[in-house]
């Protein structure tokens, strides 16, 4: 089966996912900078240094979650990730970053 036709597993984010999350986030920021919807590089850095550096504290502990979708046959290959947060637990907000 091709990657688009594979069975997927949706699981909660794990600590060992952080390096891949950061790598994917940096690639996405670089991709967006080349498009018309370009966020500033400071905003990307802000996100990497705030909510993405404390997924447990920002998303999971307050009652939200952070999920990773992977092929059933390879839990290390990410297809997608998404998060849900019930509240902001930090004073700073990435919306405040230029």
- Which residues, in sequence order, are CB contacts of 57 under 8 Å at separation 6+? 89
From first to last of its 98 residues, what are the pLDDT tens digits of the chain? 455 678 999 999 888 888 888 777 777 777 766 655 555 666 666 666 777 778 888 888 878 899 999 899 988 888 888 888 876 555 555 554 44
**Bridge partners, 56 (sequence order):** none
Q: Under 8 Å CB-to-CB from 46, ≥6 apart: which residues? A: 92, 94, 97
Stated pTM of the model:
0.63
Locate the DSSP E strands across 1-98.
Answer: 8-12, 65-71, 80-84
């Amino acid at each position: 089966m091709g990657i688009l036709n594979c069975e997927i597993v949706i699981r909660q984010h794990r600590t060992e996912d952080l390096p891949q999350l950061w790598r994917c986030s940096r690639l996405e920021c670089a991709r967006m900078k080349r498009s018309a919807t370009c966020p500033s590089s400071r905003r990307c850095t802000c996100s990497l240094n705030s909510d993405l550096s404390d997924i447990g504290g920002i998303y999971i502990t307050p009652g939200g979650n952070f999920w990773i979708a992977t092929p059933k046959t390879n839990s290390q290959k990410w297809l997608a990730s998404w998060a849900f947060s019930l509240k902001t637990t930090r004073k700073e907000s990435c919306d405040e970053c230029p």
